[in-house]
Structure 1
Amino acid sequence: MPVCDLDKRAPHGKKVMGLDVVVWWDKNENAWKVFDDMCPHRLAPLSEGRIDQWGRLQCVYHGWCFSGSGDCKFIPQAPPDGPLVHTFKKACVAVYPSTVQNGIVWFWPNTDPQYKDILTKKKPPYIPEVDDPSFTFQFLNRDIPYGYEILIENIMDPAHLPYAHYGIMSTPQPR
């Protein structure tokens, strides 16, 4: 996900490799976070929520608030003198390890705690030209209604370009 397409003031719902995720800016950790797009309470999409005044991700349905670590920090309906239900493990959101490199948010597609620090060992590919100020590049993003298998097959077949994308690509002239 290109960072230039993300607004730090709002959560963003994305479907990546069949996973429904929410990408949001954690101002307390100064980092983009990637969570399951599902509140543990009533399974509402967290991407439909908001970032509250303390920089936490807030569920749109009942207002549960989550920190960048996935911990629930506040449940508005919980009695102040009752048990600290927001600290229960079942009140946490699944967090995907994430990082930003070359202006792209990358995440490891597994929330198992054993992968928490995986991106310190396995880093996304680094392209030094992208960080070079003299290098010009453009991010393009298109949502397409088919799986990656079709896309890869399409990319691997350059012979179709001048015909399937007529008018966009140059067409060889018959001899």
Structure 2
Amino acid sequence: MTSTGRRRDTPLTARAFSRASLPFRSVISRGFPMHPSAMLPLLFGFLMLSTNAMAESHQDNQQEPLAANRQTELKTLLYQDCGSCHGMTLRGGLGPALPRDRMEGFTAEALSHIILHGIPGSAMPGWNALISEEDARWIAEHLKHDNPLETLNPQD
């Protein structure tokens, strides 16, 4: 039996529900805890927590650079595995060419997303099963800034 006098296995009807929730309604009618002044400390606490979480995530985005051996592994991945479609010198093949001037048109976040998740409906696979977000970010930055293929213009 419950405090409302009904058995636990019987369905809760509207009348039984209203009787069961009477103590809660009396608490609300007295203004506790729904009074606006009681909500201000909670709201302030929530804002402080979310601000701290945003600051911590911003600090996480400024991580230390990858180790030299990992950078070498990622270069090998880029020029061998990615190169199997984009060309060993990134001049194109099955996939498009990846010259620096074209990569500068994308943000590092957009390139990282493409690297990790691929492009649906195309031959570009996602690499998230093999590399981390940090690795994808490094590859994106490399394509944008350290890519030896500057352009595909005929002046090369």
Q: With the length of structure 2 as denominator, give the TM-score of the two structures.
A: 0.22
Larger strand share, 1 or 2: 1
Larger radius of gyration: 2
Larger helix share, 1 or 2: 2
